Structure 1
């Protein structure tokens, strides 16, 4: 009987799902995912999670609830550090325990620790541990890991071309779809959308932010569309030291890079209510935006109560303001 492993469709799913799916499939394991967020999934997560948890974590609970009875294992790796410098949010580190002790009747959780500060081969050792738990031979695990890394590289290349995670995932899985949307022909506007990928790319909690902007004729750039080497050049972004949190560090570097390039017409920061690192990040991006007063900046905050009407109104007003401003500046030249 084929082993089934469940991967919740939230948080790190948007960055690593193609790699994880490939790895498990190569070992003959069937992957079951909860797919896209729905209102029912969010409502379930809100009921199960702690009241003071941020909405992405509540969402993760909901995705776990959606698949826990359909699989033999849940894959919730304890991802600490993957770049030997910055670490992930403490809630990421504690997710396996949070799920294990707060949700009833969950299947066994594969919660291997991944921390590259423990050595160059820490991630490889983690995948070998996964294979050991599943009873797979070491050679098969290593080959599966190498193929999974190759798929991850292809996935990241697609993201840097401007594809959304959903498009890139569909293309890698089915070799179909994945057209690169570019709305610049309609209005000539280009916006940077900054924030954490699990908030930006989840179309439900972001209230379809990216698709809405594209319908308004705006080309969208996110941190995942920028080559890591370009972000690395930003170093500490004029701060005494690097930001401690991985996603905050990446988003701040993307902000500095895009502001300094001066090739964007507006910047939006999507932030989740109740996120401690994000509250600091928002202030730092706002401070940088004040140095570039010629580029409009707006913060959009989301939680489980965020309504589409309010978000749409704010976006329409911002896009219209930026468009009129750009037209006025063009007339003066």
Structure 2
């Protein structure tokens, strides 16, 4: 029987599951994901994780427990840096140790370190160590790595066409094309935040689905090529230290300056240290661009649907009234396909692993 590899369906799963899934399957392993978040997973995570951990980390603990008895190995990479400039949240760096020392009876953890600052072939070396942990031959590991990188490029290409991670994964795995996007004339909101909050349907209380049901188009950070975001001048003394926070803030500035969306929603997790800074910067930037409505929503393990739905509906109604007023005055700008201007940036699509120059 093939060795079973467990990949928790949280945190960087929303960006790199196609990569990791392809790599281990090419090595002959059976990949098992914990799937979508459930209330039971959240309850398990809240019980076992540290009380002051943010809700995404608590969720991760729950996903691990859901997988523990089904697999031979857990893949929990120690992701440090993938762009040579910024690093991931320190909780990501210590995640394998947190799981190993907090939960009992978990299978062996493959915790290969990924830090591209260690050399030009550091990423290939990280996957090589992961493959060797399974006893795979070098030739097979190299081929698996190449195919995993090809799957990653294809995945991020779909994201930059306007699809969201769940839709892109479905297209890659099953060849099923999701439903059509809202008509071009409908309002468009930028929903900004970390992918493991925005795209987790349970903890986000189905925010993206709610907006689409209202007939509102949605664009997220993942839909923008990092090569575009890297050119945004944030007018800060130095670049933000955290990878995902830096991308969120750059996307916010882009939308405010280009005015390609009707509103911006920042979805943040209560108790997130980096986000407490990012959200403040976003609020300050929004004050300088009052013509683009901005709202910040904070979620935690106690968030309920009613409160979020009420705020979301009120925000959407306000934006729609504003559009009607501006359109009646003849000042409403035509909105083409927002992402069309980003295709083939510098001859190819970008992805979160691409090097990006620091702020000017």
When normalised by structure 1's length, the TM-score is 0.97
1:232 to 220, 230, 233: 230
Structure 2 Cα separation of the partners of residues 110 and 123 of structure 1: 15
Please give the alpha-carbon distance, in whole angstroms, between the structure 1 residues aligned to 2:63 and 2:178. Answer: 25
Structure 1 distance, partners of 2:56, 2:235, is 29
Matched with 1:92 is 92
Gap change, CA 1:106 and 1:183, over 3 Å in 2: farther
Quote the RMSD (CA, aligned, Å). 1.0
Instruction: Give 1:184 shift.
Output: 4.4
Structure 2 contact 164–223 (Cα < 8 Å) conserved: no
> In the TM superposition, what are the counterparts of 1:227-266 in structure 2 within 5 Å?
227-235=225-233, 237-266=234-263
Q: Distance in 2 between matches of 1:233 and 1:178?
A: 32
Tell me how far apart the structure 1 counterparts of residues 311 and 68 of structure 2 sit (CA, whole Å): 37
For the Cα contact (< 8 Å) 1:100–1:106, is it kept in 2?
A: yes
Alpha-carbon distance in structure 1 between the residues aligned to 2:306 and 2:85 = 40
Deviations 1:184-235 (A, max 9, x none): 45xx211111110100000100000011011111111111111121111114
Shift of 1:32: 0.7
The separation in 1 between residues aligned to 2:262 and 2:164, in whole angstroms, is 21
Runs of 4+ residues over 4 Å off in structure 1: none
Matched, 1:294 2:291: yes
Number of the residue aligned with 2:199: 201
Could you tell me which runs of 5 or more consecutive residues in structure 1 were left unpaired when the two chains were aligned: none
Cα shift at 1:180: 4.5
Q: Show the counterpart of 2:17.
A: 17
**Which secondary structure does the structure 2 equivalent of 1:52 belong to?**
coil
Per-residue Cα deviation, 1:233-278 (whole angstroms, up to 9, x for no partner) = 114x111111000000000111111111112111100010000000
Q: How many residues align?
A: 330
Residue 188 of structure 2 is aligned to residue 190 of structure 1? yes
Q: Which structure shows the higher helix fraction? A: 1
- The runs of 5 or more residues in structure 2 that have no matched partner are 331-360
Post-superposition CA distance 1:269-290 (Å, at most 9, x none)? 0010000000100001111111
Please show how residues 109-148 of structure 1 align to structure 2 within 5 Å.
109-148=109-148
- Structure 2 length-normalised TM: 0.90
Contact 1:183/1:215, CA 8 A, preserved across alignment: no
